[in-house]
Amino acid sequence: MYVLKAEGLCKSYQTSEGILNVLDHVCFQMKQGEKVAVVGPSGSGKTTFLHALCGIDKPDSGMIQIKDNILSEMSDDELSLFRRKHFGMIFQDFQLLESLNIRENILLPLILDGRDEGEQKRCLQQVASAVGIEKLLDKGITEISGGQKQRVAIARAFIHQPEIIFADEPTGNLDCKSTTDVINCMTKMSENFHTSELIVTHDLYVASFCDRVLLLENGNFTGEICREEKNFAKKVMTLMSV
């Protein structure tokens, strides 16, 4: 079953040199529980593609469907509510609120959704335990490391058990050990909740954990590697060297 479908996505920007076509009739499908990495050179449109799929940015044309829901048919308010309920977001720069402690940052999606305190406590315990930050919940954001901040961001993204996680360079600011820890956390959480993940990355190691790796360049996908293929890791390395 496909949890996400996109057909004919186009997005362009006016520049000083004329029209820049970033997405050119891009089509994409993702199954429930699937992890997909999108790779490509800088400026290839990876983040634009992710932002279009999760409703942060509107494509010029094309269709995006999440299960039975068509994003283009929603009003701005409906889209905002849908995104909050069904999507989880993980960013390179964490996007945590320093005015809140770790517990409050993680609980924010449930608070905005009006969940009762008992449910909040149960969900918090589940995700904090899964990413190994139970002892950090009362600390401030400025008191923890970058790797710990990304664990907090992962816990916040998964706490309402979304259908899809959108991650934009989730390990871009981390060292090797923290990258391994974060990817292991994301893998564990997606398996626990049967959540689909779309990850934009330039990191070969991160891409190698996914079920599929897609190369985006010149406005469209020009390559794809599936985990079932022989020599998957080697093929991913070749794809990302393009």
CB atoms within 10 A of CB 117: 10
Ramachandran area for residue 90 (φ above 0: left; ψ -120 to 50: alpha; else beta): beta
Residues 6+ apart with CB under 8 A from 191: none
The stretches in the chain having pLDDT less than 70 are: 242
pLDDT of residue 193: 87
pLDDT of residue 192: 86
pLDDT of residue 133: 94
Alpha helices in 134-231 (DSSP H): 146-158, 176-193, 204-207
Determine the Cα angle at 3 with ends 122 and 132, to 5°: 30
H/E run at residue 24: strand 18-31
pLDDT of residue 242: 62
pLDDT of residue 158: 95
* Domain spanning 2-95+163-240, CATH architecture: 3-Layer(aba) Sandwich (3.40)
pLDDT, tens digit, 9 for 90 and up, residues 88-143: 999 989 999 999 999 999 999 999 888 999 999 999 999 999 999 999 999 999 99
* Structural domain boundaries in the chain: 2-95+163-240
Instruction: Work out whether the CA dihedral 235, 214, 83, 100 comes out positive or negative.
Output: positive
Encoded amino acid at 168, one letter: D
pLDDT, tens digit, 9 for 90 and up, residues 228-239: 898 888 888 888
Alpha helices in the chain (DSSP H): 46-53, 76-86, 102-112, 117-131, 146-158, 176-193, 204-207, 232-240
Which two three-digit tokens encode residue 224?
A: 């794809």
The pTM of the full predicted model, rounded to 2 decimals, is 0.92
Encoded amino acid at 226, one letter: C
Using CA atoms, how far apart are residues 44 and 22, in angstroms rounded to an integer? 7
